[in-house]
């Protein structure tokens, strides 16, 4: 057994008390408690379940100063980022309470008997029900929004599934404090014991994914770590759904017309986006396709060069960033627009880097250059014509987002949007991918390797669907039907009846 010790990224020094690994027996016990309470949580009226989520949001808001201070010591993400992230995390919990109140999420569908159908059928009614206990793997880079009470937890609880969170070792103290506050808030709001637990330590991860009572997994993290856990989930005797949000390169295309009209403004936007949070965003723009000889590289260099060092979350991530930079610059034909030598410092500080390469070289070395390098680096890919642009764009692996900077009536725009759609989950025009709205329409997902399952999202209202499965009721008398499907529609749900939306 080892200890999970928070470290201050600004100094490299330990902060807070170390938290011991959760042993295998304690992991099993957390899952057992989750399984035991699953029927009660599943049976709670939607409004009551919504109140659990609201209570968690309130707990975050009531302890915001304390939690932000804790988070800052372990992550150095500072202000205004951390207060914004806490507010967003609380709002996300409230949003899922709204989703429960709305009720459409359960997808109630009723088909009355029809003797003339081919084949004829009786009374058939369908709705979604909770999958059962869910394991959630917290991310390093969003200590609130993708951690203990982040989107995976919020959507799983909303679905009626108890959650066991594997805390991220980058912020163990914050994770444990949030867990304690959540446990208290849930108990006060009437949640059954076992609704939410938090476990620590590397070995707790595989133990969770292979526990027979765990019915699904939500994961945010690296491609390597995610793939290893995915392989465990799908390799079980009874495979379970694994929703992994992994690496993402997030290509950006800048058209000739856009560079001409507002190159400097786009360069400033890019500089802001790829350096945000020291480049530690799954939506960081990692590859920017720009017209060759347009002078855009110099405009970016002008904006980025005055950068101050900023700390990465962990020493390991700092080292991985420097190694990734070195791998990029080792490719013949890659030039440093803004170089970033490793710093000799106590903490985890790094400098931002901007690289450039022609589109042909990029496409030929996409195995390296189109890989994700977590940290403040972006690669300018210089294209000469439509063909080289699209070839380079198609060499970028599946991503969470793809962006286009274009002018009104830009002749290049439609084709780029079409190519982007094949490879990404969110298309942005004249904006930047960092900053993920929490809405009904959000999709935070994408083709492999952005995620392990392109059908699902980890942000937005439809994230709940990952933890629900359909059940149909055939000729079941009204008194044995769940309220969602009863004739009188006591919950007032939007339903499809005999083919028509009501």
Which residues are marked as active site?
245, 282
One of 28, 51, 262, 496 touching a second copy (CB under 8 A): 496
Task: Decide: is 294 part of the binding site for a second copy (CB under 8 A).
Answer: no
| Backbone φ, ψ for residue 379 (5° rounding) | -110, 120
Q: How far is the CB of 160 from a second copy (least distance, A)?
A: 12
Expressed in angstroms, the distance from the first to the final Cα of the chain is 56
SS3 letters across 224-281: HHHHHHHHHHHHCCCCCCEEEECCCCCEEEECHHHHHHHHHHHHHHHHHHHHHHHHCC
Q: How far is the CB of 336 from a second copy (least distance, A)?
A: 31
Q: Which is nearer to a second copy, 148 or 232 (CB)?
A: 232
Contact 103/492 with Cβ under 8 angstroms? yes
Candidates 181-189, 320-328, 384-392, 437-445 — which segment interacts with a second copy by CB under 8 A? 437-445
One of 27, 155, 460, 464 touching a second copy (CB under 8 A): 460
Q: How far is the CB of 223 from a second copy (least distance, A)?
A: 11
One of 33, 49, 73, 88 touching a second copy (CB under 8 A): 88
Q: How far is the CB of 282 from a second copy (least distance, A)?
A: 15
Q: How far is the CB of 385 from a second copy (least distance, A)?
A: 21
One of 469, 483, 486, 489 touching a second copy (CB under 8 A): 469
Task: Decide: is 13 part of the binding site for a second copy (CB under 8 A).
Answer: no
Q: How far is the CB of 458 from a second copy (least distance, A)?
A: 12
Q: Which is nearer to a second copy, 488 or 501 (CB)?
A: 501
Task: Decide: is 118 part of the binding site for a second copy (CB under 8 A).
Answer: yes
Contact 434/378 with Cβ under 8 angstroms? no
Task: Decide: is 283 part of the binding site for a second copy (CB under 8 A).
Answer: no
Judged by CB under 8 A, the number of residues near a second copy is 82
Task: Decide: is 429 part of the binding site for a second copy (CB under 8 A).
Answer: yes
Helix (H) or strand (E) holding 485: none
Q: 101: Cβ–Cβ under 8 A, 6 or more apart, which residues?
A: 46, 47, 50
Q: Residue 133 forms beta bridges with which residues?
A: none
One of 116, 293, 306, 441 touching a second copy (CB under 8 A): 441
Distance CA 456, CA 459 (A): 9
One of 319, 447, 486, 491 touching a second copy (CB under 8 A): 447
One of 55, 131, 179, 257 touching a second copy (CB under 8 A): 131
* CA angle in degrees (0–180, nearest 5) for 56-62-63: 95
Mutual angle of helices 151-159 and 46-62, in 10-degree steps:
150
Helix (H) or strand (E) holding 74: helix 64-75
Task: Decide: is 228 part of the binding site for a second copy (CB under 8 A).
Answer: no
Binding to a second copy (CB under 8 A): which residues in 163-222? none
Q: Which of 392, 448, 352 is nearest to 251 (CA)?
A: 392
Q: How far is the CB of 475 from a second copy (least distance, A)?
A: 5
Q: How far is the CB of 486 from a second copy (least distance, A)?
A: 13
Distance CA 85, CA 144 (A): 6
Q: Which is nearer to a second copy, 110 or 182 (CB)?
A: 110
Q: Which is nearer to a second copy, 330 or 475 (CB)?
A: 475
How many angstroms from the chain centroid is the CA of residue 141? 10
DSSP, collapsed to helix, strand or coil, labels residue 350 as strand
One of 102, 268, 302, 319 touching a second copy (CB under 8 A): 102
Strands 335-338 and 353-358: antiparallel
Q: Which is nearer to a second copy, 203 or 453 (CB)?
A: 453
Contact 374/140 with Cβ under 8 angstroms? no
Q: Which is nearer to a second copy, 2 or 439 (CB)?
A: 439
Task: Decide: is 431 part of the binding site for a second copy (CB under 8 A).
Answer: yes
Q: Which is nearer to a second copy, 278 or 452 (CB)?
A: 452
Binding to a second copy (CB under 8 A): which residues in 23-82? 39
DSSP, collapsed to helix, strand or coil, labels residue 404 as strand
Cis bond leading into 449, ω under 30°?
yes
């Amino acid at each position: 057994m080892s200890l999970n010790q928070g470290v201050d990224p600004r100094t490299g020094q330990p902060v807070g008390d170390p938290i011991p690994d959760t042993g295998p027996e304690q992991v099993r016990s957390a899952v057992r408690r989750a399984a035991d309470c699953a029927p009660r949580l599943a049976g709670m009226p939607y409004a009551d379940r919504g109140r659990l989520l609201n209570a968690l949001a309130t707990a975050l808001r009531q302890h915001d100063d304390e939690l932000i201070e804790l988070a800052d010591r372990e992550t150095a993400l500072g202000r205004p980022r951390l207060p914004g992230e806490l507010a967003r995390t609380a709002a996300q919990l409230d949003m899922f309470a709204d989703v429960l109140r709305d009720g459409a999420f359960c997808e109630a569908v009723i088909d009355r008997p029809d003797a003339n159908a081919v084949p004829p059928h009786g009374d058939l009614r369908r709705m979604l029900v909770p999958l059962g206990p869910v394991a959630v793997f917290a991310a390093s880079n969003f200590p609130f929004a993708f951690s203990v009470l982040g989107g995976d937890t919020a959507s799983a609880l909303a679905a009626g599934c108890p959650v066991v969170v594997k805390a991220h070792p980058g912020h163990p103290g914050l994770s444990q404090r949030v867990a304690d506050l959540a446990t208290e808030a849930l108990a006060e709001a009437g949640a059954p014991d076992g609704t939410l637990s938090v476990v620590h330590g590397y070995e707790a991860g595989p133990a969770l994914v292979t526990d027979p009572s765990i019915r699904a997994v939500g994961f945010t993290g690296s491609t390597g770590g995610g793939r290893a856990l995915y392989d465990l989930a799908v390799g079980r005797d009874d495979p379970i759904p694994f929703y992994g949000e992994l690496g993402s390169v997030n290509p950006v295309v800048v058209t000739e017309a856009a560079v001409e009209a507002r190159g400097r403004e786009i360069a400033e936007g890019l500089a802001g986006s790829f350096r945000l949070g020291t480049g530690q965003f799954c939506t960081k723009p990692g590859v920017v396709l720009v017209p060759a000889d347009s002078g855009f590289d110099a405009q970016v260099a002008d904006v980025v060069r005055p950068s101050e060092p900023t700390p990465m979350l962990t020493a390991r991530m700092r080292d991985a960033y420097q190694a990734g930079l070195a791998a990029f610059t080792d490719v013949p034909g890659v030039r440093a627009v803004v170089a970033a030598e490793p710093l000799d410092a106590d903490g985890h500080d790094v400098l931002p880097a901007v690289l450039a390469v022609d589109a042909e070289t990029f496409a030929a070395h996409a195995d390296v250059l189109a890989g994700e390098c977590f940290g403040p680096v972006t690669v300018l890919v210089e294209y000469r014509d439509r063909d080289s642009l699209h070839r380079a764009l198609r060499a970028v692996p599946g991503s969470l987002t793809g962006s286009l900077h274009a002018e009104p009536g830009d002749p290049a725009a439609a084709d780029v949007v079409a190519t982007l759609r094949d490879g990404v989950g969110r298309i942005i025009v004249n904006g930047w991918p960092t900053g993920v709205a929490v809405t009904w329409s959000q999709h935070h997902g994408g083709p492999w390797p952005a995620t392990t399952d392109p059908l699902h999202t980890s942000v937005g209202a439809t994230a709940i669907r990952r933890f629900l499965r359909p059940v149909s009721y055939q000729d079941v008398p009204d008194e044995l039907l769940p309220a969602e499907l009863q004739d009188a529609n006591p919950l007032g749900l939007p339903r499809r009846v005999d083919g028509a939306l009501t």
